Structures are given as C-alpha cells and as structure tokens.
Amino acid sequence: MKKKVLQFLGNTIVKYLVNVLCKTIKINEINKESIHALERDEQNYVLAFWHGTMLLPWYLFRNKNLSAIVSKSKDGEILTKVLKMWNYDVQRGSSNKAGKEVLNNLIEKANNKYSVAITPDGPKGPAKQMKAGAVIIAKKTNVPLVLVGIGFKKKKILSKSWDKFQIPNLFTKAYAVYSKPIFIDRNLSYEETDAKIKEAEKELNYLQKQAEQYC
C-alpha cells in the first residue's frame, strides 16, 4: 500500500511539473493556418509527430476534441495522467500489444469527429521511422493527416532513450512547423499506401529539420 501511495504521489508531482514547464515555453507556430482552417470548418484531423519531441505537441493540442494512443508501459501510465489532465481521450495500447484493437478504436473515434494524435515511430522505434497507423487512420476515415516538426532552442536530450527524448529548458523558445493537410485516397493499393507512408515519413523528417533550424 505504501509503495502504491508513493507511486501515486510521484506521478501526480510529475504531471503538474510537466504542465508548469510547458507554460513557460515561448512557442512559435509556423503554418498553423492549416490547423486553423480545418478547425474553422469543423474538420477533424490526424496529427502526427515524432515520439522524441512529443511533449510540446501534446501541450499545444490540450483541451481539444482529441483522442490519443498511449502504450501500456509504466512511462505510458505517467503520460496517460498528463494527457487526461489536458482533457485527451486516451486509448491504451501499441503496435506490439492490442495494436489492431486500438487502431480500430481510433478509426471509430475519427469517424465520430474526434481528431487523433499519434507518435508514428512509437512506442519503441526505430526513431523517426513511420509505422502505418497514422496513414491508415487517415485513409480509412477520409480525415486529413497533418504532420508537425518540433524544435527547442535549449533542451536536455536523454541520450540513452531509444528516441533521444527531448526535455525543453524552462523559458526556452520552441518552434512547431506544420504540414498542409494531406488526404489519403481510401482506394489506394497496399503498395501505394506503403509509398504514402514513406512520403509522410520523409515530410515529417523535413519539418523536424526545419523546426530545429529555426532554433
């Protein structure tokens, strides 16, 4: 019981520290009009960003009608608490565990006007290599895919983590660079869909470099 209480307190403290940290960041958003136009037209979307930079996008899209996929790991438990604080609908699972079920849940959410946020290289990599989920959701629901690259001017990189996870410094500058909405034809063949996944990966890596160059 004592261990569970300490774990709960630790997770609660982390949750609020993350919130305080994000509030201090000076955020610049490039091409945000793409998102504004979709939201103005009440069009939901699939938002994709790399796992190692996920802290800022999760914060930027808080308190909106978004559903998110989070792994069932211990780290995922902490992230779940943070995302629920930010009013996300959280689906637990990954490409490794309960992947098909979670993917179907997200497709159902997108069909019911939820936007979907996803780290397409998670939960265990390889880093910056896109798995199929984000493109498949966009394809099956005719909901546009929007990619976002993230750059922090000053940050700590967890070099031993598979994704080289980035923790921004307090009060640092940050840049989020968005793609234009990408629509995926639901009639594409398997080979054509695979090509779209590779194109999206290339574009997201390009946006990531752009965001870092702004810094």
Stretch 27-56: mean pLDDT? 97
Q: Report the mean per-residue pLDDT for the chain.
A: 91
Stretch 103-112: mean pLDDT? 94
pLDDT value, residue 150? 98
Beta-bridge partners for 106: none
Contact (CB, 8 A) for 171 and 25: yes
Contact (CB, 8 A) for 153 and 126: no
| 3-class DSSP state of 173 | strand
pLDDT value, residue 173? 98
Instruction: Examine the pLDDT at 7 and tell me if it is beyond 60.
Output: no
Max Cα separation, the chain?
Answer: 55
Sorted by where each starts, the structural domains of the chain and their CATH numbers stand as 2-214 (3.40.1130)
Stretch 57-80: mean pLDDT? 90
pLDDT value, residue 101? 84
148-198 per-position pLDDT tens digit:
999 999 999 999 999 999 999 999 999 999 999 999 999 999 999 999 999
Predicted TM-score of the model (pTM): 0.92
Under DSSP, the state recorded for 143 is: P
| CA-closest candidate to residue 59, choices 143, 150, 120, 133 | 150
Contact (CB, 8 A) for 30 and 151: no
Enter the tokens of residue 172. 């640092």
